[in-house]
A and B are shown apart, each in its own frame.
Chain A
Amino acid sequence: MRVPLHWLQEFVDLDYSPQELAERLTMQGVAVEAVERMRPECRGVVVGEIAKIEPHPSSRGLSVVQVQVPEGTFQVICGATNIAVGDKVPLALPGSVLPGGKKIEVADFDGVQSQGMVCATTEILFGKPHLEGEGVLILDKSAPLGEDVISYLDLEDEVFVLDLTPNYASCLSVLGVAYEAAAITKRPVRNPLKLHPDVARGLSGVSVTIEDAELCPRYAAKLVRSVEVGMSPPWMQWRLHMAGMRPINNIVDVTNYVMLEVGQPLHAFDFDKLGNKIVVRRACQGETIVTLDGEKRELSPEMLLITDSHRPVAIAGVMGGLDTEVTLDTKTVLLEAALFKPASIRRTSGSLGIRSEAAIRFEKGVDPSIQPLAAERAAQWIERLGAGIAVPGVVDEHPNPLRPKTVSLRLDRALEIIGVQIPKPEAISLLQSLDFEIRDHGDTLAVTVPARRVDIDSEIDLVEELARTYGFENIPATSLRDSTVPGGKTPEQTAVDQVREFMMGCGLQEIITPSLIGPGDLKRSGLEAEIAHSIRLANPIVEDQSLLPRSLLPGMLKVMAYNIAHGSNRLKLFEIGKAYFAKSLPLQELPDERLKLSIGATGEQFPVHWDNPRRQVDFYWMKGIVEALMARLGIDAGFVQSHETQYHPYRQALVIAGPHTLGSIGELHPDIQSAWDLPSRVLVAELDLDLLLELRKMNRTCQPIPRYPCVERDIAFVVGESVPFGQIAKAILEAGRPLAVEAKLFDVFKGSWVPEGKRSLAVRITYRAEDRTLTDSEVDSVHQQVRKELIERFGATLRS
């Protein structure tokens, strides 16, 4: 909503500077986004008087006009026919500039010099060529010669640009804003509708039938005869322009003007093209109408129509029909001021894609009490402009008249909710300043709500009115008085933080990727089968963001690809994010949202440095991180060979703990690596973090520090390379039971002297007894057991 201040001042005295008032309105809830100073941008156009009119010597239809200004007489060539000697007109002097920057110069018209231009309204207000049939603007006889026309017309004004929240439907009119301003200035409002509150009911020759009173609770109509359609005066056109509307003609302008004034949308029909029986009904299936904008509209039964006895003439509250539009030939006008159900208008305007000013007001809620008054007001304006004569009386179909709303307010409770102490008389006067009527019943106040405040229904609404007129800035800042509560994170939330800290400690950068991905991302990640398991949006913006997946891998790879393409060559990343598991598809109930930990790395393990080894990340690097995390969480995890398509077939593993699969780790399959344009090997891991949190060991008891020293023995042997080390390590510990407590692989060698198909392993075995220092012979004998086991079980050849 845009509110010109001179207009606002017609209804209330303002007393404050525009900036100050804007600030106060904002702090009262009516947000003034900007204060704009507006004036038609024309310079050098002054009041002149026609001194002489002669036909152009050679060009038919043009006149040579002498225009008098204090500086002298200017000769201009003019095509208009509505001027006479003695008329005062706007004269654009040579060198003057019209809005939009058009410069007026001395020109030659077929051998006759034109020293400027006499102007039409459209030219001086908007800098556009005058309309067909639009003559020169004839100013009042009293206009002082030589005065700047814009100053003379008093068009310059300041405009409040409001950024209204949906509850301020009542501020979609200058009058409504005047009531808000009045609550600040404490001045009375001059409500133009209260000037003639009694409208004669009934209007012969017009009947209105409302077939659906739920969608149309009220319909008022008013006739204006002897209409002369033309331009509305400059001040009205300019006000409409400042308020953001386009002037059309005097009749349509008046309907828009009254809508902006009092908030009631009006429509003007050409009565002679309309039958005298108006029926408000729902559309039939397949019915169509051509609207004012020339579009043919398909209608459906949920839409409400205004019809004459034969056909639709308007889509109720949204847009009128072209057939019954007011034209230059219109002689009689029927003015409609109706009330429609907001939700219905919202649906209709939404499905037709018509966001008209009328629809915007109807869907937010219009004052239900003013329909006949607004129709009457519009008829008066037409009369005042000399554009027609109002036919006395008004039709007012109103099947279920509304009673004024009264809401009861417990003042003590209201003040307690706000947290302020305001004396009762002051509180009452705050509410009265907003035009509420108060009856004091002691403990409660009976508050009668002005009909235009469609947003007020309940006590809490009044609490808000009280708080905002008292001023949020005057409310103190206090502390919660409740008994204190512990607050903070749950153990699970803390554990998630710890996992994050641990990942950071491993040198990984956290990322947060979009949870919406596309089928292409899954396909590119080797997870094509996941597309069918992913939750799909019904109305995605783009296909690339249409799925909620069960895996964080595509998001991880996308980030890696982006960073590699932008010059990074080593990446060590992790994400803690959600994966979405539908219980069934299409979705019947909410899916399981599980936290996952995703890790991804590519490039060198260590930053480039003169003293760092230059080694790429590999499976064991990734496994080391996962093992360390498991140890940190106290989860006894193992790794088993897996067969997932996204990974290198021989470099991948499931991470398991007892019966649970915790996730997987692996080197990305080279095909997928190249699909994402990743130049080096990529290691990824994805773990079910929720499951890790469930399985983590919470209460640890302290283990005593060993009291007796351990003995370490190294053992080196050659064994078939297909024998998994995991089995060997297990066998060592079993054979060395109970003294062997740890078996660490510290060397692996293949090739050279090692026979084809075999590898040489070196293991450091730790022996320890809890209750004594081990003797050499004790260790020797256990170690011998271990050697024997390696030979017998794995066919190992011992080297030491």
Chain B
Amino acid sequence: MEEQILLLKQEAINAFSAATKMEELESLKAKYLGRKGQLNSLLKRLPTMPQEVRPTLGKLLNQVKSDLENVFEEQTARLRRAELQAKLESEKIDITMPGLPFDAGNRHVLTAITQEIIDIFSGMGFEIAEGPEVETDQNNFVALNIPKDHPARDMQQTFYITSEILLRTHTSPVQIRGMRARYPRLPVRLIAPGTVYRRDQADARHSPIFHQVEGLAIGEGVRFSDLKGTLLVFARRMFGPDTVIRMRPSYFPFTEPSAEVDVSCTVCKGKGCRTCGGSGWLEILGSGMVHPSVIRNGGYDPERVTGFAFGMGVERIAMLKYGIDDLRLFLLNDIRFLSQFH
């Protein structure tokens, strides 16, 4: 009997291992380990065995049963793995097919640049101010030292609505509005983005509608050197940490001293190239110390406070930063252009 048992064990192990499907394995389990299985029929024969060998045989039978059950479990796991593997293989996909596209919205390039400028100056404690596009002649010109008949006022360049109401030609009237709204608070530090208008025919370098960002800092002891320092920080954040700036004396009726500000060419780093016309410098903004009479027009006492102001063209900065060569692209809104900027 003992031999029979061991023979059965070996046979069952061989059969389990050879099974290739779960169903096959299940029926083998019934055949060997089931209630009517071969192992059980051997067990049923046990009482017919001599008394003295019964315990040994009984023990052996139990041992074989548990061994076979283990083998069955192992083989089950093997087959499950194989089945899963087969299923996974059947699920193979072409990962080079395109993913589900979704429309990622973009901001307009002018918004992107404006926000970048605002963020830089916000970090330096500048508030964001706004002013109307339809302005008074008083705020746009007279209060900025540009009375009627002043050479800086070119009739051809201004869109008028009435003799006293016009489309602002620059964001500088926000200097006056900004000071008046804040007086007598000090210091005043604001940045004012906005749309401005000039009566120019549109071409690659002119647009009747464009965008500026104005800056203003008024306080006790604000110096020209502070203007230089503030703009240097701006230029380095905007154009890269190696950027240097150059201030050239210039003229604006509402600032004195006035300066044009150049940055080292973003393309050639100052060596001279086509973008900078060989000079190594790119003009980016106009600036200066707020003229005493403008400070007075803003409500403050120019004997007590001083300040600086600057104004830059958003399109100009975008053109330099992205190598855009036609001003008309900004308001054309060709999505093939707009989708390039984020």
Binds B, one of A96-104, A218-226, A586-594, A681-689: A586-594
State which size class the interface on B falls in. 35 or more
Min CB–CB distance B66 → chain A (angstroms):
46
Chain A residues 19 to 51 lying within 8 A of chain B, measured CB to CB, are 26-29, 31
Q: How far is the CA of A426 from the CA of B111 in the complex (A)?
A: 48
Are the CB atoms of B209 and A516 closer together than 8 Å? yes
Are the CB atoms of A509 and B105 closer together than 8 Å? yes
- Binary interface profile of B, 245-260, with partner A (CB < 8 Å = 1, else 0)? 0111111000011110
State which size class the interface on A falls in. 35 or more
| A467 cross-chain contacts in B, Cβ below 8 A | 224, 249, 257
Are the CB atoms of A473 and B187 closer together than 8 Å? no
Are the CB atoms of B149 and A510 closer together than 8 Å? no
Min CB–CB distance A306 → chain B (angstroms):
22
Nearest residue, chain A, Cβ from B104: A507
B86 at the interface (CB under 8 A from A): no
A693 at the interface (CB under 8 A from B): no
Q: Determine which residue in B208, B225, B232 has the highest number of CB atoms from chain A within 10 A of its CB, and name it.
A: B225
Using A420-B225, A485-B125 as known contacts, say yes or no to A346 and B250 having CB atoms under 8 A apart. no
Using A478-B225, A507-B102 as known contacts, say yes or no to A484 and B125 having CB atoms under 8 A apart. yes
B159 at the interface (CB under 8 A from A): yes
Min CB–CB distance B183 → chain A (angstroms):
15
A707 at the interface (CB under 8 A from B): no
- Binary interface profile of B, 281-293, with partner A (CB < 8 Å = 1, else 0)? 0000000010110
Are the CB atoms of A346 and B151 closer together than 8 Å? yes
B79 at the interface (CB under 8 A from A): no
| B134 cross-chain contacts in A, Cβ below 8 A | 535, 548, 580, 587, 590-591, 593
Nearest residue, chain B, Cβ from A567: B336
B306 at the interface (CB under 8 A from A): yes
B108 at the interface (CB under 8 A from A): yes
Q: How far is the CA of A26 from the CA of B167 in the complex (A)?
A: 33
Using A504-B104, A559-B333 as known contacts, say yes or no to A468 and B249 having CB atoms under 8 A apart. yes
Binds A, one of B7-15, B48-56, B116-124: B116-124
| A768 cross-chain contacts in B, Cβ below 8 A | none
> For chain B, what secondary structure do more than half of its interface residues adopt (helix, strand, loop), or is it mixed?
mixed
Chain B residues 228 to 252 lying within 8 A of chain A, measured CB to CB, are 228-230, 232, 246-251
Are the CB atoms of A480 and B230 closer together than 8 Å? yes
Are the CB atoms of B338 and A509 closer together than 8 Å? yes
Q: How far is the CA of A607 from the CA of B162 in the complex (A)?
A: 48
A744 at the interface (CB under 8 A from B): no
Chain A residues 324 to 374 lying within 8 A of chain B, measured CB to CB, are 342-343, 346-347, 350, 363-364
Q: How far is the CA of A31 from the CA of B283 in the complex (A)?
A: 13
| A480 cross-chain contacts in B, Cβ below 8 A | 124-125, 187, 189, 217, 219, 222, 226, 229-230
Are the CB atoms of B224 and A475 closer together than 8 Å? yes
Are the CB atoms of A476 and B162 closer together than 8 Å? no
B27 at the interface (CB under 8 A from A): no
Are the CB atoms of B250 and A165 closer together than 8 Å? yes
Are the CB atoms of A418 and B224 closer together than 8 Å? yes
Binds B, one of A381-389, A539-547, A649-657: A539-547
Are the CB atoms of A487 and B189 closer together than 8 Å? yes
B203 at the interface (CB under 8 A from A): no
A505 at the interface (CB under 8 A from B): yes
B85 at the interface (CB under 8 A from A): no
Are the CB atoms of B103 and A508 closer together than 8 Å? yes
Are the CB atoms of A468 and B128 closer together than 8 Å? no
Using A419-B224, A541-B201 as known contacts, say yes or no to A512 and B108 having CB atoms under 8 A apart. yes
Nearest residue, chain B, Cβ from A593: B132
| A165 cross-chain contacts in B, Cβ below 8 A | 250-251
Are the CB atoms of A512 and B230 closer together than 8 Å? no
Q: How far is the CA of A464 from the CA of B289 in the complex (A)?
A: 9
Are the CB atoms of B221 and A416 closer together than 8 Å? yes
Binds A, one of B17-25, B29-37, B93-101, B263-271: B93-101
Q: How far is the CA of A299 from the CA of B230 in the complex (A)?
A: 52
| A559 cross-chain contacts in B, Cβ below 8 A | 333
Chain A residues 384 to 408 lying within 8 A of chain B, measured CB to CB, are none
Interface residue from A416, A514, A539 paired with B199 (Cβ < 8 Å): A539
Are the CB atoms of A607 and B289 closer together than 8 Å? no
Q: Residues on B close to A: CB < 8 A?
A: 97-98, 100-108, 110-111, 115, 118, 121-128, 130, 132-136, 149, 151-152, 155, 159-162, 165, 167, 186-187, 189, 195, 197, 199, 201, 208-209, 217, 219-226, 228-230, 232, 246-251, 256-259, 289, 291-292, 306, 330-336, 338-339
Given A504-B105, A511-B338: 13 more A-B contacts, CB < 8 Å: A350-B155, A417-B306, A478-B228, A482-B221, A487-B122, A489-B118, A493-B128, A505-B105, A508-B103, A509-B339, A540-B159, A571-B335, A593-B133
Complex A-B, nearest 5 residue pairs according to Cβ-Cβ distance, in ascending order: A419-B225, A507-B103, A504-B105, A29-B249, A419-B223
**30 A-B pairs (CB sep. < 8 Å):** A29-B250, A343-B149, A363-B151, A417-B224, A418-B223, A419-B226, A463-B256, A463-B257, A468-B257, A473-B247, A478-B228, A480-B226, A482-B217, A482-B221, A485-B187, A487-B127, A504-B104, A504-B107, A507-B103, A510-B338, A514-B209, A536-B161, A539-B159, A539-B199, A568-B336, A572-B103, A587-B134, A587-B162, A590-B132, A612-B101
